[in-house]
Structure 1
Amino acid sequence: MKGSEIVKQYEQLDKLMADHDGIVQTSQVVAKGISKPVFYDYIKEKKLERVAHGVYASADAWIDTLYLVHLRSKQAVFSHETALFLHDLTDREPAPYSITVKTGYNPNRLKADGVQVYTVKPELHVVGRTIAQTSFGHTVPVYDMERTICDLIRSRKGIEIQTFQDAIKQYVRRKDKNLRTLMQDASLFRVEKILRQYLEVLL
């Protein structure tokens, strides 16, 4: 490859890094027609850090860990306590992050990195899926408030009761709540009876 071509590809890489807040994916690089050997030279020269499989960041980049989890698994939807956090239904920063994937997806790599992984049938995976912004301004997939309340009831044995009760209290106060959708979801996920018990106390 000629020197001028390498310089041009380096300039493209500089622009990619600038456009994506110092984080770049191998797939983005390949999509731009930049060769992998040139990219790997660029990684060495710029001392980029491998922050996830196929994801590299400059040393001074602010790492949005929620966005990184999304980049690593495009089908993962943020759920449970992480969804509460993204919807401002809890003040507690989630640790670990919780995601939901379709049954059959291999979550071992994410689990090894400490992510809490829930699985559901493919037809339930899309129910209540929406988007939210991380504190860094990135858009990520998340379940809506109604689906999240139902998920928490389904997984209540593994959730702190205080977190769950506070979330329902906050939800009831919200102007953008949708009780009809909540009851439809509760019926779909077979938690209607328990949900009604909670709501009778709060509404």
Structure 2
Amino acid sequence: MDYIKQIEKHLKDSGGIITSLYCRENGIPTVYLSRLIEKGVLHRVDKGIYLTKNGDYDEFYFFQYKYSGSVFSYETALYLIGVTDKIIQVKDVTVSSKYKFNKPPVGVHVHYVKKEWLDLGVIVVKTMYGNSVRAYSYERTICDFILHKENMDPESYVKLLRGYSSYKHKNVHMLYEIAAKMGIASEVRDIMEVLL
């Protein structure tokens, strides 16, 4: 198989992004990435991530590729699931309390949670460039906002809760299940009885 053709096909299908992980998983020697860099076809965005000149610079995908233990949360999750069009100035991500960053990421607000809470309400969503990333569902985001109400912007808090009543993909059962596991079932139930 011609490795260069295989890489070119992937670049066409992926918006101009390729990773060294993709190459390893598909039996492509990573030396071919170096050759394409030398020819000016690719440039290195970050460790293991390469992009063509006209490729889509997908900051959400790149971030999660680099920090695979992270989940987009709070207002960033709401943006990714399409329930807010608020411009994201600082990304919110959640990681396990045991997760350590070698170098703290810039422009990111990191939330730490118990390991058993990290995967509660995780969904896979597409970025605007069509790449898959992990984010929290609306239901998990509601639980996070209620749990940390004192730290939330009051306007965003009210909009989040009111918006859920008209959210077409709402899953109240999942909301109560997540709330129970996070120890806030009664607070969530009281709020939802008023809203729904």
Q: Give distance in 2, aligned partners of 1:47 and 1:125.
A: 38
**Taking structure 1 as reference, are residues 191 and 40 closer, same or farther at Cα in structure 2, changes over 3 Å only?**
same
- TM-score scaled by length of structure 2: 0.85
Partner of 2:71: 77
Cα deviation 1:1-43 (Å, max 9, x = unaligned): xxxx9xx333332223222211111122233333333421221
Cα deviation 1:150-180 (Å, max 9, x = unaligned): 1122233443221121011101222432333
Aligned CA RMSD, in angstroms, stands at 2.4
Cα deviation 1:39-58 (Å, max 9, x = unaligned): 21221212523222210111
Cα deviation 1:109-151 (Å, max 9, x = unaligned): 4x32322222222221221122222222222222221111011
Task: Please say if residues 107 and 117 of structure 1, whose CA atoms lie closer than 8 Å, have aligned partners that are also in contact.
Answer: no
**Taking structure 1 as reference, are residues 14 and 181 closer, same or farther at Cα in structure 2, changes over 3 Å only?**
closer
- TM-score scaled by length of structure 1: 0.82
Deviation at 1:197, TM superposition (A): 5.2
Q: Give distance in 2, aligned partners of 1:68 and 1:47.
A: 19
SS of equivalent to 1:183: helix
**Quick check: 1:188 aligned with 2:181?**
yes
SS of equivalent to 1:90: coil
Q: Give distance in 2, aligned partners of 1:38 and 1:187.
A: 50
**Taking structure 1 as reference, are residues 155 and 45 closer, same or farther at Cα in structure 2, changes over 3 Å only?**
farther
Q: How does 1:20-169 map to 2 (within 5 A)?
A: 20-109=14-103, 111-169=104-162
Task: Please say if residues 90 and 167 of structure 1, whose CA atoms lie closer than 8 Å, have aligned partners that are also in contact.
Answer: no
Q: Which amino acid aligns with 2:22?
A: Q
**Taking structure 1 as reference, are residues 87 and 28 closer, same or farther at Cα in structure 2, changes over 3 Å only?**
closer
Q: How many residue pairs get matched?
A: 196
Q: Share of identical aligned residues, percent?
A: 30
Could you tell which deviates more after superposition, 129-138 or 32-41?
Answer: 32-41
Unaligned runs of 5+ in 2: none
**Taking structure 1 as reference, are residues 34 and 200 closer, same or farther at Cα in structure 2, changes over 3 Å only?**
closer
Q: Which has the higher helix share?
A: 1
Deviation at 1:92, TM superposition (A): 0.6
Q: Give distance in 2, aligned partners of 1:108 and 1:201.
A: 44
Task: Please say if residues 90 and 163 of structure 1, whose CA atoms lie closer than 8 Å, have aligned partners that are also in contact.
Answer: no
SS of equivalent to 2:175: helix
SS of equivalent to 1:46: coil
Could you tell which deviates more after superposition, 117-126 or 180-189?
Answer: 180-189
Deviation at 1:196, TM superposition (A): 4.6
Which of residues 165, 175, 180 is equivalent to 1:172? 165
